[in-house]
Amino acid sequence: MAVKNDMTLEFLHSAYGGESMAHMRYLWWGDVARKEGFPKIANLFKAVAYAEQVHATNHFREMGAVVKDSAVFAGAVFGTAKTAENLQGALDGELHEIHQMYPVYLNAAQFQGEKGAERSCHFALEAEKTHATLFKGAQDAAKEGKDVEYSDVFVCEICGHTVNDKTEDFCPICGAKKEKYHKFS
Ligand code: FE2
Ligand code: FE2
Ligand code: FE2
């Protein structure tokens, strides 16, 4: 269903752009991590890249088809470095979304009565918190030249909730059954 208010539409376009860039950035940084000898951090990047695809898709579904230019406020890194620095870039991007971007977008959607955008922004905001936690742990390991200890990462296909161990029966963010999680290993 298309949004009715221009401000929410702008925010959805920006969020879609930011999530799309995060998706591509994490795929690339995953390849870098694999080449540096961090196959499990590489797997984490691949899993979170999928979660960002879920977010981009949720926003895309809500915006409706409109031909126009739109600015993207990414608040994130462009380009590539070593894995420990890439993880800092990943963390910065997630924290920007958690503390700046999504609280504003979510409040605008609520204020304007845009239920679909409210849902897609709520899902993303809560899922980004799980990404920040996982990237911080991975960075702590990478700084010591170590890989993370876990192999499997699970991502909810509805909201992008991401965990590194076995999932609960229902997603804590969107309530989906655990069959809705995609396993990356
Ligand atoms: Fe996201
Ligand atoms: Fe994220
Ligand atoms: Fe979920």
* Phi, psi at 174, each rounded to 5°: -110, -10
Q: Which residues contact 166 (CB under 8 A, 6 or more apart)?
A: 154
Segment 32-55, tens digit of pLDDT: 999 999 999 999 999 999 999 999
Between the CA of 34 and the centroid of ligand 3 the distance, in Å, is: 28
CA distances from 104 to 2, 39, 43, 118 (A): 20, 36, 31, 11
Give the pLDDT score at 1.
Answer: 63
Write down the pTM of the prediction: 0.96
Residues flanking ion ligand 3, Cβ below 5 Å: 156, 158-159, 161, 171, 173-174, 176
Residues flanking ion ligand 2, Cβ below 5 Å: 94, 128, 131
Task: State the average pLDDT over residues 87-109.
Answer: 96
CATH architecture, range 6-147: Up-down Bundle (1.20)
Q: How confident is the model at residue 166 (pLDDT cuts 50, 70, 90)?
A: confident
